[in-house]
Amino acid sequence: MKIAMIGWEYPPFKAGGLATHCYGLTRSLADKNAKVFFFMPKTKHKSSSDKRNLKIIEVGETDIFPYDRPDSKEIEGQFFESVYKYNALVAAKINVSVKTNGKFDVVHCHDWLTMKAGIEVKETHNIPLVLTVHSTEYDRSGWLYPNQWFIDIEKEGMEKADKIIAVSNFTKNVIVDKYGINPDKIDVVHNAVHPIPEGQKQEIVLFLGRLTIQKGAEFFLKAANKVLDYEPDTRFVVAGTGDMLPKLIDQSVDMGISNRVIFTGRLTEDEVKHIYGISSVYVMPSVSEPFGITALEAISAGTPTIASKTAGFSEAFKNCLRVDFWDTDEMANKIISLLRYGPLHKTLSSEGRKEIDLFTWDRVANKTFDVYNGVI
């Protein structure tokens, strides 16, 4: 089977779960003897593949992340243009590739940034289009002010796709309810994780993610404030960057806890692994979380996790704690309980790691193959 896959990020260039997913999926597909051509933008960090069946093809250049908003200052004015340009370049590159290497069996694209190209390739070469939805505009906007431009692109891609893969039932429901797509066209494939080694645990409570409205870091800080009244020696780490960083720093200063909260900014992959390993508690207070690979990463590092009740991964995962993202009293209750009650921490840590073993990219690749075989 020959697959043209269109992505936006790939390690070492990585802004979110999309990169992790594409990395895990393409490598496992290649291991199962599929020929995967992965198209992505050219970046400063060159991505490459050590697998015979997997080719990484870098196309043009772009400054846009899948999580960018059109109103972000650096890319003002050229946002929409950049998206169209990248999609056109990818489509052209695939045309060239077809001429030299022959036709693809399927084109597979991920999220809104790549949908235009996916549709064009489907129509030009008359091959089925598979679309994976990692998040929707509703998730990224925290359901506050979703941007119609993204919604229109997403809707068009979903309508034209022969099959949609949703990363959770949560996301499947959004696709059905908000985009009016027939549920029979949508398969749910939960993500997987490459396990991260456990480190020497310290009294650190970790938030790790983009500092955007979607990820709910402000609720993490509110809970931190409450925890510190009872457990004053606790340290809180906010890892990641995003448009809310200045506001969050202000918030921690206003609450008088800035000496207990560390803002790390953007971390390298090794730093991310390290911080997962040494943290005692991971909190994922997302306002809207289609899946939440970071939770599985933290759990794989033996770090008990408190996640939003609606987070997609928790549909299929038992050994974690759940809260409503706005319920910072309960979030604090659970953080303190994890810090105080060793047996709780130990049981969650060991049972969680056992359960993580079920979340392999091999399983994701098998399920994705099932989807391909259904449309070819």
Partner 1 sequence: MTSVCMYFEVHQPMRLNHFSVFNIGNHNDPNTSYFDDKLNREIFEKVARKCYLPTNNLLLELIRKYDGEFRVSFSLTGTFVEYCERYMPEVLDSFKELFKTGSVDMIEETYYHSLSALYDDMAEFEDQVKMHNQMMRKQFNYRPRVFRNTEAIFDNRIAKKVADMGYKGMITEGSDKILNWRSPNYLYKPTNADIKVLLRNYSLSDDVGFRFSSKGWPGHPLTADKYAQWMGHCEGDLVNLFMDYETFGEHHWEDTGIFTFLKHLPGEVFKQNYLDFVTVSEAVERYVPVGEIDVPWAISWADEDRDVSTWLGNDMQHSCFDELKEIGRKLRENGHKDLLHTWRLLQTSDHLYYCSTKGMEDGAVHAYFSHYDDPYEGFINFMNVLQDFKQKIN
Taking CB under 8 A as the binding criterion, the range among 39-47, 145-153, 196-204, 337-345 that sits at the site for partner 1 is 337-345
**Binding status of residue 337 toward partner 1 by CB under 8 A:** yes
Tell me the torsion sign for CA atoms 210, 211, 216, 217.
positive
- We find the least distance from the C-beta atom of residue 199 to partner 1, in angstroms, to be 21
Alpha-carbon 164 to chain mean position: 17
Interface with partner 1 in residues 316-335 (CB under 8 A): 318-319, 321-322, 329-330, 332-334
Report yes or no: 32 and 132 within 8 Å, Cβ to Cβ. no
Taking CB under 8 A as the binding criterion, the range among 43-51, 149-157, 201-209, 315-323 that sits at the site for partner 1 is 315-323
- C-alpha dist (Å) from residue 344 to 156, 331, 337, 349: 47, 15, 8, 8
- We find the least distance from the C-beta atom of residue 334 to partner 1, in angstroms, to be 7
Nearer to partner 1, 32 or 322 (CB): 322
Please state, in angstroms and rounded to a whole number, the distance separating the CA atoms of residues 318 and 303. Answer: 14
Nearer to partner 1, 51 or 346 (CB): 346
265, 271, 346, 357: which one binds partner 1 (CB under 8 A): 346
**Binding status of residue 250 toward partner 1 by CB under 8 A:** no
Nearer to partner 1, 181 or 306 (CB): 306
**Binding status of residue 106 toward partner 1 by CB under 8 A:** no
Nearer to partner 1, 80 or 341 (CB): 341
209: region left, alpha or beta (phi > 0 left; psi from -120 to 50 alpha): left
Alpha-carbon 72 to chain mean position: 20
Q: What is the distance between the terminal CA atoms of the chain, rounded to a whole angstrom?
A: 10
Tokens encoding 145:
């002010």
Q: What's the angle, vertex CA 276, arms to CA 350 and CA 40, rounded to 5?
A: 120
Nearer to partner 1, 10 or 236 (CB): 236
- We find the least distance from the C-beta atom of residue 214 to partner 1, in angstroms, to be 24
Please state, in angstroms and rounded to a whole number, the distance separating the CA atoms of residues 195 and 227. Answer: 29
**Binding status of residue 49 toward partner 1 by CB under 8 A:** no
**Binding status of residue 245 toward partner 1 by CB under 8 A:** no
Alpha-carbon 123 to chain mean position: 28
Beta-ladder partners of 283 = 306
**Binding status of residue 88 toward partner 1 by CB under 8 A:** no
Nearer to partner 1, 247 or 346 (CB): 346
**Binding status of residue 348 toward partner 1 by CB under 8 A:** yes
Q: What's the angle, vertex CA 330, arms to CA 210 and CA 345, rounded to 5?
A: 80
Nearer to partner 1, 77 or 343 (CB): 343
**Binding status of residue 351 toward partner 1 by CB under 8 A:** yes
**Binding status of residue 299 toward partner 1 by CB under 8 A:** no
Taking CB under 8 A as the binding criterion, the range among 7-15, 239-247, 345-353, 365-373 that sits at the site for partner 1 is 345-353
**Binding status of residue 344 toward partner 1 by CB under 8 A:** yes
Element (H, E) at 331: helix 328-340
**Binding status of residue 103 toward partner 1 by CB under 8 A:** no
- We find the least distance from the C-beta atom of residue 337 to partner 1, in angstroms, to be 4
Element (H, E) at 40: strand 35-42
Report yes or no: 330 and 305 within 8 Å, Cβ to Cβ. no
Residue 109 three-state SS: strand
Nearer to partner 1, 247 or 340 (CB): 340
Please state, in angstroms and rounded to a whole number, the distance separating the CA atoms of residues 284 and 54. Answer: 33
Residues lying near partner 1 in the complex (CB under 8 A) are found at 226, 230, 318-319, 321-322, 329-330, 332-334, 336-337, 340-344, 346-348, 351
